[in-house]
Amino acid sequence: MTDPHMDAPLNEYADGTLAARDRASVEAHLAECAGCRTAVAELRALVAGAAALPKTIEPSRDLWATIETRIRQPATWNVQRFWRGALAAAAMLVLAVGIYRLFRVPRSDLRVGEGQGWAVVQADFDRASDELSRILAVERERLRPETVALLERNLAVIDTAIAQSRAALARDPASAELRRFFAAAARQKVELLRWAARVAAS
């Protein structure tokens, strides 16, 4: 292993970009340090290997059909994207307002109307989640099967977290920690659905 302070000079020396005044001192160091000589040899081999990598890699499927669709009907495509984006943004807003409402409920109100703030947020979250799920259902077949499988695994994990936080909140509706836990899980689900819908749509 070389001295970390030698990292930059050795890289620049190997690249041939080191200033002339520094080159002599690096060469003097190299004459005495076998580790740095090895490092320079490895750097040069790495740079040569990188430059020799194939410049062309064919995609595993023909991408032209999608490109052609997008450039053929830019207006329609843009409008569709706009509405999908607007719906997703609306769903996020509903959720954000719900979470804000939950956190701003004073503890005294929670004690009086126990569970009321939670019910409102639950409804808001369900609405946002359903809206995004509907968008995703339309575009789902565009995703790779591996991506769908991963999406479902992630959703299952998040749904479990949401179910657990719901059950815990039912027992202790005034717990700020549980509310934060629910909010984080709910936000994550909406983010994931939104990401999947966006990937599928593109």
Partner 1 sequence: MHSDPTDLIHRAQQGDRAAFEALYRAHAGRVYALCLRLTADAAQAEERTQDAFVRAWERLATYRGESAFSSWLYRLTVNEVLLGRRAERRREQRVVTTDDPAALERPRGADPASGSALDLERAVAALPPGAREVFVLHDVEGYRHQEIAALAGIAVGTSKAQLFRARRLLREALNR
Chain residues that interact with partner 1, rule: CB under 8 A: 7-8, 11, 39, 42-43, 46-47, 49-61, 63-64, 66-68, 70-72, 74, 144, 146-147, 150, 153-154, 157-158, 188, 191-192, 195, 199, 202
**Of residues 43 and 174, the one with the C-beta less far from partner 1:** 43
From 149, 129, 137, select the one nearest 200 (Cα to Cα): 137
Q: How far is the CB of 85 from partner 1 (least distance, A)?
A: 13
**Of residues 181 and 195, the one with the C-beta less far from partner 1:** 195
The letter for the amino acid at 140 is R
**Of residues 58 and 141, the one with the C-beta less far from partner 1:** 58
In the 8-state DSSP scheme, what is residue 3? -
Token output for 59: 């995609």
From 180, 173, 164, select the one nearest 113 (Cα to Cα): 173
Q: Residues with Cβ < 8 Å from 169, sequence gap 6 or more?
A: 118, 175, 178, 179, 182
Q: How far is the CB of 167 from partner 1 (least distance, A)?
A: 20
Whole-number Cα distances in Å, 103 to 106, 125, 181: 8, 14, 12
In which residue are the tokens 């593109």 written? 202
**Of residues 32 and 64, the one with the C-beta less far from partner 1:** 64
H or E segment and range at residue 173: none
Q: How far is the CB of 177 from partner 1 (least distance, A)?
A: 19
197, 129 in Cβ contact below 8 A?
no
**Of residues 120 and 195, the one with the C-beta less far from partner 1:** 195
Our separate counts of H helices and E strands in the chain read 9, 0
**Of residues 133 and 154, the one with the C-beta less far from partner 1:** 154
Q: How far is the CB of 193 from partner 1 (least distance, A)?
A: 10
Q: How far is the CB of 110 from partner 1 (least distance, A)?
A: 28
Q: How far is the CB of 111 from partner 1 (least distance, A)?
A: 33
